[in-house]
C-alpha cells in the first residue's frame, strides 16, 4: 500500500502512523505527507523521517473542485493509492473521492454519529456524556459520515475540561488509526453497504451471552453488575 497522509496541524496521528510503519506493523510505505498549510508541524515530522512532502495552499484556489484536482495530481505523482486524513481540515469533493474510491480514511475524535464537526471532544465534554472516544471511518461527501471501521471508547470524568478529554482521546486515536491502516494494507476490510467487516479480526468486545466485557460509567454497583 502506498499511503498519502494529509495533515493541517500538529500531526501526532501522523507520528503514530510513521512509528508503526517503521516498526513493520503496517504493510505500507508512506509515499507522501501532504498539507494545505506550509507551516503544519506534520510536515516537519515527515521530513525528520525522510518522507516526501507536498504543500498546496487551498487559499490559492477559487473553488473546492480545483483544489481537490490539484491535490489528486500531487498525490498520484507520488504514487499514492490510499489516503489517511490525520487532522486535515478540509472537506473533500467527489473530484478527490472518485480518484481514490473507498481508499480514503479519516479519524474523528468522537463516537460518531455523535458530535461530528471540528470540536467533537469539547462538545462531548460540554454535553456531559459518560462515554467518549474516537472513530476511524471511510470518507464520503458528508462530514464525518462514512462507514465506521473501528471505534474506541473511554469513561469520562464528570466536569473534565474539554482539553483534558481531548488529550485522553488523542492517545486512543494513536492506537486505533494505525490498526485500521494495517487492516487496509492487509486487504482485510470488506464493506456491505455501511457495514464494515474485518476479515479474521477477533471476537467482538461485547459478547451478549455472557454480557461482557463492556464499558459502563459510572460503574454498576453490586446488585446490578451480576
Ligand atoms: C485529531 O483529534 C483528529 O481526530 C482530528 O484532528 C486531530 C488531529 O490531531 N481529526 P493531530 O494533528 O494528529 O495531532
| Spatial distance between the Cα atoms of 19 and 49, rounded to a whole number of angstroms | 10
Q: Residue 69 Cα, ligand 1 centroid: separation in angstroms?
A: 24
Decide if 108 is catalytic.
Answer: yes
Distance CA 178, CA 195 (A): 20
Pairwise CA distance, residues 141 & 106, whole Å: 12
Instruction: Enter the pTM of the model.
Output: 0.95
**Residue nearest ligand 1's atom 2 by CA:** 109
| Site to substitute for ligand 1 among 6, 35, 45, 86, most atoms within 8 A of C-beta | 86
Provide the pLDDT for residue 205: 64
Active-site residue among 20, 25, 49, 108? Answer: 108
Question: Cα dist. 124→62, 110, 165, 226 in Å?
Answer: 34, 8, 9, 29
Pick from 93, 95, 83: which is nearest to 32 by CA? 83
- Cβ neighbors of 56 (< 8 A, separation 6 or more) are 34, 36, 67, 70, 71, 74
d(CA 11, ligand 1 centre) in Å: 7
Question: What is the pLDDT tens value at each position of the chain, 226 positions in all?
Answer: 999 999 999 999 999 999 999 999 999 999 999 999 999 999 999 999 999 999 999 999 999 999 999 999 999 999 999 999 999 999 999 999 999 999 999 999 999 999 999 999 999 999 999 999 999 999 999 999 999 999 999 999 999 999 999 999 999 999 999 999 999 999 999 999 999 999 998 776 665 666 666 788 787 778 877 6
What pLDDT, on a 0 to 100 scale, did the predictor assign at position 216?
A: 80
144 close to ligand 1 (CB < 6 Angstrom): no
Amino acid at each position: 500500500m502506498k499511503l498519502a497522509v494529509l495533515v493541517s496541524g500538529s500531526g501526532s496521528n501522523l507520528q503514530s502512523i510513521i512509528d508503526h510503519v517503521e516498526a513493520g506493523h503496517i504493510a505500507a510505505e508512506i509515499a507522501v505527507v501532504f498539507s494545505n498549510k506550509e507551516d503544519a508541524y506534520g510536515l516537519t515530522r515527515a521530513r525528520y523521517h525522510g518522507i516526501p512532502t507536498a504543500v498546496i495552499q487551498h487559499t490559492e484556489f477559487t473553488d473546492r473542485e480545483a483544489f481537490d484536482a490539484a491535490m489528486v495530481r500531487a498525490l498520484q505523482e507520488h504514487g499514492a493509492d490510499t489516503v489517511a486524513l490525520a487532522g486535515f481540515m478540509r472537506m473533500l469533493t467527489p473530484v478527490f473521492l472518485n480518484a481514490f474510491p473507498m481508499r480514503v480514511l479519516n479519524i474523528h475524535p468522537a463516537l460518531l454519529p455523535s458530535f461530528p464537526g471540528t470540536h467533537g471532544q469539547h462538545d462531548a465534554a460540554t454535553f456531559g456524556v459518560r462515554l467518549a472516544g474516537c472513530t476511524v471511518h471511510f470518507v464520503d461527501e458528508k462530514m464525518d459520515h462514512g462507514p465506521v471501521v473501528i471505534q474506541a471508547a473511554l469513561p469520562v470524568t464528570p466536569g473534565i475540561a474539554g482539553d483534558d478529554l481531548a488529550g485522553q482521546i488523542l492517545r486512543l486515536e494513536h492506537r486505533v488509526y494505525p490498526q485500521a491502516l494495517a487492516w487496509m494494507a492487509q486487504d482485510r476490510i470488506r464493506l456491505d453497504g455501511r457495514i464494515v467487516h474485518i476479515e479474521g479480526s477477533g471476537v467482538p468486545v461485547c459478547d451478549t451471552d455472557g454480557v461482557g466485557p463492556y464499558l459502563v460509567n459510572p460503574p454498576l454497583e453490586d446488585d446490578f453488575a451480576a
